[in-house]
Amino acid sequence: MTVETPKGQMGDAQPAQAGTTLPDVLGMAAFDDHHPPARDLIDDCVHCGFCLPACPTYTLWGEEMDSPRGRIYLMKQGLEGEPMSPSMVQHIDRCLGCMACVTACPSGVQYDKLIEATRQQVERRGSQHRSLADRALREGIFQLFPRPGRLRLVRGPLALYQKSGLSRLVRGSKVLEKISPTLATMEAIAPPIERRVRIPAYLPAKGQRRMTVGLLLGCVQREFYPGVNAATVRVLNMEGCDVVTPPTQGCCGALSVHAGREDEGLRYARNLIDTFSESGVERIVVNSAGCGSTMKDYAHLLADDPAYAERARAFSEKVRDISEILVELGPVAPRHPLPVTIAYHDACHLSHAQKVRSQPRQLLRGIPGLTIKEIAEGDLCCGSAGIYNLVNPGPARELGDRKATNVAATEAELLVTSNPGCLLQITDALGRQGKHISTAHMILVLDASLLGKDVDTLLQEAPSATRPAAPEPEPTTPEARSGGCACGKPGGCGG
């Protein structure tokens, strides 16, 4: 297609020259002028193809347009005036955003920035190319998952559904798979409902204070993996950190940012910056890979906002994954032996987006008796990828099955990772294959060692692909019945 741009008043036109971005005179071009994918970043791609074997969708289908190189070509076409098409939207939507290509690229192409900008354009100018059902699904997801209060309302009915045995009946009948693959996925990945744990706004260090840190509670982490947050606080306390947890904190905006919902994501980011602004913390600790990658990127995301640009930069500089801060501090609390063989899965937004690979392994290797097995195709995404397994359940399931097969091949007793989405996805995939392998967040393993738990207790408390998590004992005090406390003291600490 030859793209032409008007010259003069009428009629005279000349062909567009390669490498130029044309004015969208008729309003038909794929991209508007609000942060389209940057031409200089697109031109960094030399079409070498090193990204192809790293890309999950290219690995599945072998289609050029479902590779980073192919998607960059589509972005270039958009900048040169091609209209947004159903095909372009489909290929962009199929990208998991795992950033494995960023790690693989020898030219340093910032595909993460390119796909983020392109998704924003799709949300503004191309969403009509999605089906009505797809648009409704996406809206429903964002009315629920970034809102902890609404997720909390789901806990009760979901717990009743699981305990009543209805879940086994539904799964056995496969009725949801016939109605909606997305509903079937949501039902399958739902974790056993744990008793809620109250995280005090402040918990002091045990022994000499080494640092004051803030903790992001998260959304899914807060409501469906509350034990992970409680363990994070305990470990930080035992390693000499005062922990500040602002009770009014909300979503960090990661799901929205990764899906191209720019205004929504930035609103969440500003709110979180405001929440921590008076906390006086030296670091902000995150135990969810996707959240951490976005929070570290606030300076870029809010660079155009004069009221928040500098605050966002200062905020991002404080953000650390839990493994980073613990390695930075160095261990002081004694580690008790934990003779268990684990397989460690690198969450994409920790390994590729944040370049945090060695720290979780360093912490785990510091536990006496623990053996780490590396997983084949370790850089390949498990298929969770934010909301990907809900809006693209087919390829997500294929990737999950592939990951589960590789995990099982390690013959490990426990699958360990650092992201709630990965835990949900891999636990479900292992279950489909009938593998008796428990799954746990990395911080739960370290917490078990610091507390002196034995292996059987750790494995019993961790959700298994074929066995729900062991129920916690019924609380015996009014304070505990109100939700329990992360400090571990009977009746809570009153914080």
Report pLDDT digits (tens) over 444-476. Answer: 999 999 999 999 989 888 866 444 444 433 333
Q: In sequence order, what are the beta bridge partners of 285? A: 215, 320
Residue 69 to residue 46: CA distance in whole angstroms: 9
Contact 469, 159 (CB under 8 A): no
For 168, the token pair is: 């086994």
- Whether the pLDDT of residue 320 is over 80: the answer is yes
Report pLDDT digits (tens) over 127-161. Answer: 899 999 999 999 999 999 999 999 999 998 988 88
One-letter amino acid at 229 equals N
Contact 240, 212 (CB under 8 A): no
CATH number of 31-129: 1.10.1060.10
Mean pLDDT within 419-428: 95
Residue range(s) occupied by CATH 1.10.1060.10 in the chain: 31-129
Nearest of 110, 100, 117, 119 to residue 44 by alpha carbon: 110
Query: Phi-psi bin for 479: left (phi > 0), alpha (psi -120 to 50), beta?
Result: alpha
Contact 22, 5 (CB under 8 A): yes
- Which alpha helices (H) appear in 289-438, and where do they start and end? 289-295, 298-301, 309-318, 322-329, 348-351, 358-365, 388-391, 393-409, 420-432
Please state at what angle helix 309-318 crosses helix 262-276, rounded to 10 degrees: 70
- Whether the pLDDT of residue 16 is over 60: the answer is no
Residue 365 to residue 358: CA distance in whole angstroms: 10
- Strongest mean pLDDT among 153-162, 174-183, 219-228, 360-369: 360-369
Residue 99 to residue 56: CA distance in whole angstroms: 10
- Whether the pLDDT of residue 172 is over 90: the answer is no
Residue 494's pLDDT is 44
Contact 147, 251 (CB under 8 A): yes
User: Is the CA virtual torsion 40, 41, 43, 44 positive or negative?
Assistant: positive
- Whether the pLDDT of residue 26 is over 80: the answer is no
Question: At 28, is the pLDDT very low, low, confident or very high (cuts 50, 70, 90)?
Answer: low
Q: State the fold for domain 335-461.
A: Rossmann fold (3.40.50)
Write phi, then psi, for 106 (nearest 5 degrees): -75, -15
DSSP state of 3: -
- Whether the pLDDT of residue 263 is over 60: the answer is yes
Contacts of 454 (CB under 8 A, 6+ apart): 338
Residue 259 to residue 301: CA distance in whole angstroms: 14
Residue 338 to residue 445: CA distance in whole angstroms: 9
Residue 184 to residue 167: CA distance in whole angstroms: 11
Report pLDDT digits (tens) over 54-105. Answer: 999 999 999 999 999 999 999 999 999 999 999 999 999 999 999 999 999 9
For 104, the token pair is: 């693989």
Q: Residue by residue, what is the 3-state secondary structure of 405-463?
A: HHHHHCCCCEEEECCHHHHHHHHHHHHHCCCCCEEEEHHHHHHHHHHCCCHHHHHHHCC
- 319-321 vs 241-244, strand pairing mode: unpaired
Contact 72, 42 (CB under 8 A): yes
| H or E element, residue 343 | strand 341-344
Residue 222 to residue 197: CA distance in whole angstroms: 9
Residue range(s) occupied by CATH 3.40.50.11810 in the chain: 335-461
For 58, the token pair is: 């290219």
One-letter amino acid at 85 equals S
Residue 246 to residue 485: CA distance in whole angstroms: 15
Prediction pTM value? 0.86
Residue 345 to residue 399: CA distance in whole angstroms: 13
For residue 31, give the 3-state DSSP assignment: coil
Long-range contacts, stretch 4-10, CB < 8 angstroms, 24+ apart: 5/81
Contacts of 472 (CB under 8 A, 6+ apart): 194, 195
Q: For a pLDDT cut of 70, what percent of the chain falls above it? A: 88
Residue 486's pLDDT is 56
Report pLDDT digits (tens) over 325-350. Answer: 999 999 999 999 999 999 999 999 99
Nearest of 456, 435, 444 to residue 339 by alpha carbon: 456
- Whether the pLDDT of residue 253 is over 80: the answer is yes
Kindly report which listed range (163-167, 277-281, 397-401) carries the lowest average pLDDT score. Answer: 163-167
Q: Please state, rounded to an integer, the average pLDDT across all residues of the chain.
A: 88
